[in-house]
Amino acid sequence: MKQIIVCIVVVLSLLSTSCITNKDVVYLQDKGTIVDDSLQIKALATPYRVQINDILSVSIKSTDSELKKLVEVFQPTEQVANTTGNQSLYFNGFTVDLHGNIEFPILDKVNVLGFTTDEIEEKVKEALLDKYLKDISKIFVTVKLAGLRYTITGEVGGGGVLTLFQDRVNIIEALANGGDILPTGDRKDVLVIRQYPNGQKIHHIDLTDVAAMKSPYYYIQPNDMILVKPLKRKALGAGQTATQTFTTIASIFSVLISTYFLAKNL
């Protein structure tokens, strides 16, 4: 009987600490890491620099009727039947190749690796001025990323490869778009795998701390992978709430008592 009591005490100790609390699931809590009570945190506005495999949308327009026909030559003309959304962007956008170039109509190759979209706009304008135009004051060039593509996997409601058509997306928005983190997911150590010219790096961010808004990984970048690990307590098989945990304890207790009396009567 003493052995059963010891087992029960151990089980109770483990399961009593295994409930998932508000501290585990609430985003951006004030943990004393931010001094300002107003929590006015300036977002890191570092401009994104284009990388290999990015897809760019380049638009050239003109208000001059004489230049409109020339401008049309620079627009992508390839149309693929039955393609919409992301598929259309894939076929009609400009993909950055392994050498950091995009194949532009008539202008041939333009190197864009490591440049911001604003800088690429200026490069296209300069190329037009150098080869075809005497005055670019009536030419308007717009360069945008053809959607912010990223991957979510792990303890999330949906996940997969997703695309948002926004210039800036924070990690909480990205997770919400993928079904959000499940109650059994570890919000205190979310992994962000980011692509760099020399390879990939793994970064960690605690989304339960409001200080995460100051992290360089709070705003995601194209081709980011977001991995959500399961909480360690999930492996114990305990419930997510106090009621579920109590039910588990009661079931274990019932099995132990039944086993004891069965063994005693044999």
Dump pLDDT digits (tens) for 172-185. 999 999 999 999 99
| pTM (whole model) above 0.75 | no
Closest residue by Cα to residue 24 from 235, 207, 238: 207
Q: Which of 31-40, 109-118, 185-194, 206-215 has the lowest mean pLDDT?
A: 31-40
Residue 237: left if φ>0, alpha if ψ -120 to 50, beta else—which one? left
Percent of the chain with pLDDT over 70: 65
**Top-ranked range on mean pLDDT: pick from 89-93, 187-191, 245-249:** 187-191
Percent of the chain with pLDDT over 90: 32
61 token code pair: 């327009």
Average pLDDT over residues 54-59: 88
Burial 111-146 (b: 16+ CB within 10 A, else e): ebbebebeebbebbbebbeeebbeebeebebebebb
> Residue 197 has what pLDDT?
78
Average pLDDT over residues 205-230: 93
Closest residue by Cα to residue 107 from 63, 141, 144, 138: 141
Report d(CA 210, CA 136) in Å as an integer: 46
7-10's contacts with Cβ under 8 Å and 24+ in sequence apart are: 7/256, 8/252, 8/253, 8/256
Read off the pLDDT band of 133 (50, 70, 90): confident
261 token code pair: 């009396």
